[in-house]
Amino acid sequence: MSRTSRTVRRLAQGAAGTAALGLGCLAYASLYEVNAFRLRRYEVPILPAGAAPLRVLQISDLHLTPGNTARQEWVSRLATLEPDLVIDTGDNLAHEDSVPFVTRSLGRLLDLPGVYVWGSNDYYAPTFKNPLRYLTQPSRQATPRPQVLPWQDLGREFKQAGWLDLTDTRATVELKGLRIGFRGTDDAHLNQDHYDEVAGPVDRSEVDVALGVTHAPYRRVIDAMTADGHDLIIAGHTHGGQVCVPFYGALVTNCDLDVARVKGLSSNTAGGRTAAMHVSAGLGTSPYAPIRFACPPEATLMTLVAKTTPQ
Ligand SMILES: [Fe+2]
């Protein structure tokens, strides 16, 4: 065999190996990891001294379709955790018939105190987008806007269950003797956030702990919440980067947040204050991009505990 033939054969073998590896990764991401749900647990020391722990379950980015049976079954088991509070950070829907599947999956969680905000995928049905664009720039709504989803029907179910809609709204909930102050916004990814409607310094004579809740952690929202003195900011939307590089992490956040804080517990500093921040990697994906790689779907159980006083 000539030298040229050997080189051509090696190149062909290399290309076949790369293609096989790519197909293997795709199969792993779409058949296994997309349904490899996990529960993350964090302890967050933000409560006043002497307060009893408060268990908060965050659910985000379900993107549910009637056919997502694995996701529905896993979420339906979360009620056994018996949290004190449920926070739903939006993107529940991905199909016009999804509302009963969401409420059935949440099940007994709807009997517990809960708060929620909406994400763009509650309002509008998913559309096909070039997945490579997701990795290079934040997603944008298609024009004209796609089909409207029945988010108002889901809102009626949530309200009937006693959950509070935090869309550009303040609310105070008393739990285990603690006054929990909430401020939420509408979805910043759609430019529908109006934090100015709820803005102002946190009044410690009115609340014992202050939580900011928003779907997409755009800096203008999290910085305003931080500067006002919130103890903890809770968001979703990023999907943790969704398709990540093993041992490196996310390439994108789908908003203007830095990739270092794409998911998990971190902090945010603005206006001379620092707030704890939790961004959920979420439970689902768009039906048009049903893959996750090095970024499994998740729900989070945060145990809020008393602040440790400096010695
Ligand atoms: Fe989402």
Gap from CA of 208 to ligand 1 centroid (Å)? 31
pLDDT above 70: percentage of residues in the chain: 94
Q: Edge-to-edge strands of the sheet including 114-116?
A: 38-47, 298-306, 54-59, 85-88, 114-116, 164-165
Q: Which band of pLDDT confidence, cut at 50, 70 and 90, is reported for residue 308?
A: confident
- The identity of residue 46, as a single letter, is I
Cα of 129 from ligand 1 centre, angstroms: 14
Share of the chain above pLDDT 90, in %: 81
Strand order in the sheet with 209-213: 170-175, 178-184, 209-213, 232-235, 273-279, 264-270
pLDDT of residue 174: 98
Q: How far is CA 118 from the centre of its chain?
A: 11
pLDDT for 2 equals 76
What are the tens digits of pLDDT across the range 150-184? Answer: 999 999 999 999 999 999 999 999 999 999 999 99
Question: Ligand 1: distance of its center to the CA of 54 in Å?
Answer: 26
pLDDT tier, 141 (very low <50, low <70, confident <90, very high otherwise): low
HSE of 146 in the Cβ direction (CA atoms, 13 Å)?
A: 18
Pick from 287, 283, 295: which is nearest to 89 by CA? 283
Distance 211 CA to ligand 1 centre (A): 21
* Per-residue pLDDT tens over the stretch 95-126: 999 999 999 999 999 999 999 999 999 999 99
Compute the distance from residue 139 Cα to the ligand 1 centre, in Å.
11
Q: What is the pLDDT of residue 1?
A: 67
CB 292 within 8 A of CB 33: yes
Q: What is the mean pLDDT of residues 248-277?
A: 98
Compute the average pLDDT of residues 22-27: 80
Closest among 248, 232, 256, 252 to 240, alpha carbons compared: 252
